[in-house]
Amino acid sequence: MMRSRLLLSALGLALALAAIQARATLQIVEQAVETSTLSVSLPDSNVGSMAVKSCPSCKPMLLRLTPRTQFLVGRAPVPYAEFVALARGASDRGLGVFYHGKERTITRLIISDARRTAPRRR
């Protein structure tokens, strides 16, 4: 008898928790655009604005860099000066632009890792 009460209580608790989780709504915290380093013009300092297009025929969005914006090459954080030097280099690299949609502020800029090479096709 005590055991069945315990099982029923546990089952009731599990169902209540499942109902609470089912009501939770997802919130979009960050949006992203995949582009290339030759398709954008980075500002001279790490606080400024840049225009980003999500497709070649799309209208550009004006997004702001802030002191909290992170600059990465692959997974490694780098200083802004190093990031800009690589982005303005001769070769075109993939660039991920992550931003807060409502605020239009850039949270992260990620250049695909320059040390990696594309796999050879056979």
55-73 residue pLDDT tens: 889 899 999 999 999 999 9
> Could you tell me which residues are beta bridge partners of residue 110?
72, 96
Q: Which of these, 33, 38, 34, 35, lies nearest to 86 by C-alpha position?
A: 38
pLDDT of amino acid 33: 95
Name the more confident of 111 and 2.
111
Please give the pLDDT value at position 54: 85
pLDDT at 122 over 70: no
Per the listing, tokens 């320059």 go with: 114
HSE toward the beta carbon, residue 116, CA cutoff 13 A:
11
CA 53/CA 106 separation, integer angstroms: 14
Let me know: does 38 contact 88? Beta carbons within 8 Å: no
18-33 mean pLDDT? 75
* Residues with Cβ within 8 Å of residue 72, at least 6 apart in sequence: 78, 83, 108, 109, 110, 111
Q: Determine contact, residues 96/30, Cβ cutoff 8 Å.
A: no
How confident is the model over 29-57, as a mean pLDDT?
A: 91
pLDDT at 117 over 80: no
